[in-house]
Structure 1
Amino acid sequence: MTVTILFAAPEARWADYEAPLHAALRETGLDYRLGLSFPPEEVDYIVYAPESHVQDFTPYTRLKAVLNLWAGVEGVVGNETLKAPLARMVDAEGLTQGMVEYVTGHVMRHHLGMDAQIVNPEHEWDPVMPPLARDRPVTILGLGTLGQACAHALTGIGFPVTGWSRTPKDVSGVTCLHGEDGFRHALEHAQILVLLLPDTPDTADTLDTRAIERMPRGAFVINPGRGALIDDDALLAALDAGEVAHATLDVFRQEPLPKGHPYWAHPCVTVTPHIASETRPPSASRVIAENIRRGEAGKPFLHLVDRDAGY
């Protein structure tokens, strides 16, 4: 039987994904057809992005699974017409590695105080010795696939890493905390704070005034997770007061970030244009093809979303 796979993402993405998806699907040995348009009642799988034209899943009566192209599923998880399994993108080759490199690079940048050497218009000779990594505690909020991978990379360099998650986790070499008391403790020693939580109603404004007040004065904030995790007014106030030394922000509530937004002009903010971890078509296509293979073999899908938790 032929498996019908609908690519329901913005058409501009099709040029990037068409060849890699075909290559990955051929490796499964399945008889398949892949394209941008099929009668809904004939579709078995949807390769999906939230900007898709498909918002009503009701006509897709044969649908076996929706395979999200991105790690974040906040744009689809609440869709009440979607009854089929929903899988998020977990791609160790591309997505995860990209996040590890982004987080590690910016942690090292702030840890070493590199900005002062890169931008030194007065040519001042100011030999400030940074601490060793072992003396710079890092806290990661969010211990999912991305958070755990970043934690392992940082502990490998020598940073003492504390990770916080909503539910208990056990990550080798990482101090794992959970719950409200754990959240407060995780912030108290966070000289560098990395936000990698999902975007859910429970995580909105995780970094607010009260949370910032618990952090060491002069801490650094890195947010490659979701824009809604930060109370922007609270962070700007903390930056102005010197409570936070610098914020490196890759994600925002509105993207692209409006040109007049205060983050652009603030001397203690680095804006990066949502580049921390992009889905790479070749490796992401292999993840999608593997889930389709598993579905056709009657095996459990990988990376299924917990609809109640929202991720």
Structure 2
Amino acid sequence: MSPTILFAAPADRWAQYETPLTEALDATGLDYRLGLDLPPEEVDYIIYAPKSGLTDFTPFPRLKAVLNLWAGVEGVVSNPTLRVPLTRMVDSEGLTQGMVEYVTGHVLRHHLGMDKYIGNTTPAWDQVAPPLAQERPVTILGLGALGHACARQLTSLGFPVTGWSRTPRSLDGLRCLHGAEGLTEALSGAQILVLLLPHTAETENLLDASALDLLPKGAVLINPGRGALVEDTALLAALDSGQVAQATLDVFRIEPLPADHPYWQHPRVTVTPHIAAETRPASAARVIADNIRRNEAGEPLCHVVDRDAGY
């Protein structure tokens, strides 16, 4: 039977994804049907994105899997009507590379103290060189595909990188910590802290006042992971006190970030508009198409979400 594939995403996404998905699915050799408006009783797969308007999966009796277009699945993972496998986007060609470039660029920016030179018109010849990378400890919270890739890149540049995850991980060439005790140790040595954890009940507000107090005074925070990882009022207080010297934030609890939010005006905060790791249609389409091919061939799906863990 030819699989029927529903594209459930905001309407403007169809224009971006129709051609890449068609090309990627054609390359699999499958005889398929792909579209926006398909009879629910005929749908085998749903390509899903947040804000699609689809919240009830019960009208799809033939549904085999839901394939999330984004890495984050917090908007769908707890949906009680979803009773088939859910996969998340893991795309080393586009999404992962984009995150590596963002994290590496901002780690280097803060490490080198570039902000004080950019746009500097004050005649002050402060000839103090920054430390070398080997003298600047970096901690990454989250050791999934994105965290691991960023850790490898930073390690290759000479930074001593510590990685932390909720459960034990062992990765070649990387110091790995886990659990509550490991988190204390990971934070206490982080001159630059990068957040790449998923948003779950266990990680929400993980960076609260007590966690921020564990950082070395004057540490830098980079958050391209999830906005809800950080308790906003605690971070603003830490920035005002100098406990945290600077924060670069790409993700927020409400997006777009409201115009009256204190982050916009804070002199020690850089706001970027959720651009760290955008899903690229061409490479993401190949990931989606290959997963459908695998399932149709009786092979296991890749990147299946652990519904209990939330990611």
Q: Write out per-residue CA displacement over residues 193-238 of structure 1, whole angstroms, 9 at most, x where no aligned residue.
A: 0000000010011111111111100000000000000011111001
Q: CA offset at residue 171 of structure 1?
A: 1.3
Letter in 1 for 2:203: T
- With normalisation by structure 2, the TM-score equals 0.99
**Equivalent residue number for residue 112 of structure 2:** 112
Matched, 1:272 2:272: yes
2:40 pairs with 1:40: yes
In the alignment, structure 1 residue 292 sits paired with structure 2 residue 292:
yes
Alpha-carbon offset, residue 123 of structure 1: 3.1
- 1:229-256 deviation per Cα after TM superposition (whole angstroms, max 9, x unaligned): 0011111001011111100000000000
Name 2:11's counterpart in structure 1.
11
Percent identical pairs in the alignment equals 71
Partner Cα separation in structure 1 for residue 283 and residue 35 of structure 2: 19
User: 2:30: which partner in 1?
Assistant: 30
Equivalent residue number for residue 228 of structure 1: 228
Q: What is the one-letter code of the residue matched to 1:128?
A: V
Question: What's 2:154 paired with?
Answer: 154
Structure 1 distance, partners of 2:21, 2:121, is 49
Secondary structure of the 2:60 match is coil
Q: Distance in 1 between matches of 2:149 and 2:74?
A: 22
1:10-37: per-residue Cα shift (whole Å, max 9, x none)? Answer: 1100000000000000000000010001
Length, aligned pairs only: 311
Q: RMSD between aligned alpha carbons?
A: 0.6
Q: Kindly provide the amino acid, as one letter, of the partner of residue 118 in structure 1.
A: I
Give me the whole-angstrom Cα distance separating, in 2, the residues matched to 1:28 and 1:170: 35
User: Gapped runs of 5+ residues in structure 1?
Assistant: none
Q: CA deviation at 1:127?
A: 1.4
Q: Say which SS state the counterpart of residue 275 (structure 2) adopts.
A: coil
| Match of residue 247 from structure 1 | 247
What are the Cα deviations for residues 107-147 of structure 1, in whole angstroms up to 9, with x where unaligned? 00000000011031313211121100000000000001100
Q: How does 1:1-311 map to 2 (within 5 A)?
A: 1-311=1-311
Secondary structure in 1 aligned to 2:184?
helix
Per-residue deviation, 1:264: 0.3
* Distance across 2 between alignment mates of 1:53 and 1:214: 41
1:108, 1:201 → 2: CA distance? 32
> Structure 1 runs of 4+ off > 6 angstroms?
none
